[in-house]
Amino acid sequence: MSSKYKTLKEECYEANMQLNVLNLVVYTFGNVSAVDRKNDVFAIKPSGVSYSDLKVEDIVILDFDNNIIEGGLRPSSDTKTHAYLYKNWDDIGGIAHTHATYSVAWAQSQLDIPILGTTHADHLTADIPCAPPMKDELIQGNYEHNTGIQIIECFKDKQLSHKEVEMILIGSHGPFAWGKDAAKAVYNSKVLEVVAEMAYLTRQINSNAPRLKNSLIKKHYERKHGAKSYYGQ
């Protein structure tokens, strides 16, 4: 494959294949994109192509205004959401969207995922936010573009930083996650799914299970991410 975007396409392809390996997608429901800030473009999975058939050369390249730069297939139906986030959050390098079971269940419940344990606190110090379902007039309008607006407005309303909380649930829909690159977006999608399952099971055992103590939240987050972190080699 001869293309100036070969490396970007390969990154995007590998991240999309990981969604399948990690059981985060059902059939073709899910996508990952990867951005090239130097050229102001991003790569994304083509719409409706099964993972068993997907090839590197199938990956579509677009600019942040949703114009196709390279590729013969239609891009993911969620492309406009990805483009809007890249355009407004210029420090993220990859975005993933899945239909993973427990993440979707929480999204359909229209509830934030409460921070109940240290697995959650190892990755972020806040509840995982759930944006309210989109208003009818926005659904009937530029839906996928408006989903991007919905995500950013939720972060503003809840006074959250997208650098610290790299994931969200869209009420009645499902999860989006992002990170420094496509691989981190997939990693965050898996973390979200695992935490969602743990929170669900915890509340099944004890519907009044309390939020994790602030001291434990601080300890577990800072030992991995703080100035004096000591987790890992």
- Phi and psi angles of residue 97, each rounded to the nearest 5 degrees, phi first: -130, 130
Structural contact between residues 113 and 169, judged by C-beta atoms closer than 8 angstroms: yes
| Catalytic site includes residue 122 | yes
| SS3 (DSSP) at 37 | coil
Catalytic residue among 27, 90, 157, 231: 231
Residue 6 structure tokens:
């070969």
Q: One of 40, 63, 122, 181 is an active-site residue; which one?
A: 122
Exposed e or buried b for every residue in 40-65, given b needs 16+ CB within 10 A? ebbbbbbeebeeeebeeebbbbbebe
Active-site residue 78, yes or no?
no
Q: Do 155 and 136 form a contact (C-beta atoms < 8 A)?
A: no
- Residue 187 CB: number of other CB atoms within 10 A? 20
CB contact at 8 A, 66 and 35: no
Per the CB < 8 A criterion, the answer to whether 200 and 106 are in contact is yes
The CA dihedral of 204, 117, 114, 198, to the nearest 10 degrees, is -40
Active site residues: 122, 231
